[in-house]
Amino acid sequence: MKPKSWIDFAKWLYSKTITTSIVALILAAITLYYLIQSGITIVQILAVTAFVALLLIVGLAPQMSVLIKRYEIMVREGKLWKEYWLYILIWIALIGWGAKEVFFP
């Protein structure tokens, strides 16, 4: 594999942030639908998500200082909620759904 080709592809893909986000959200919804239809519970899905998130932390940890600085600026300017409101609400809904399944089966 050529790393330069992958970087060029990533630049192209993420240069269209709104389109990329919408397509990813639609694909996530379709994937969630099929996972639920196959008999996997939301608790199992969230458990796998936690596992993958922890693996991502391993790779992202060296770059976190840059990301934290960016988010500190966004918080200071009051832009964090404005830019991530949909993402935050989706996670709250998923975690609420999972908590409901665990505590009120």
pLDDT band at 105 (very low <50, low <70, confident <90, very high): confident
Question: Using one digit for the tens of pLDDT, what is the confidence trace for 53-69?
Answer: 999 999 999 999 999 99
Question: Using one digit for the tens of pLDDT, what is the confidence trace for 12-42?
Answer: 999 999 999 999 999 999 999 999 999 999 9
Q: 11 with 71: CB under 8 angstroms?
A: no
Nearest in space to 80 (alpha carbons), one of 66, 94, 68: 68
**With 90 as the cut, is the pLDDT of residue 1 above it?**
no
**pLDDT value for 47:** 97
Name the token pair of 3.
Answer: 């790393």
Q: 45 with 97: CB under 8 angstroms?
A: no
d(CA 28, CA 35): 10
**pLDDT value for 33:** 97
Question: Using one digit for the tens of pLDDT, what is the confidence trace for 83-103?
Answer: 899 999 999 999 999 999 999
Long-range contacts made by residues 94-103, C-beta under 8 angstroms, separation at least 24? 94/42, 94/46, 95/46, 97/42, 98/42, 98/43, 98/46, 101/41, 101/42, 101/43, 102/43
pTM of the predicted model as reported, rounded to 2 decimal places = 0.81
Name the residue with tokens 């998923």. Answer: 94
Ranges of each domain in the chain: 1-40, 41-105
d(CA 16, CA 34): 27
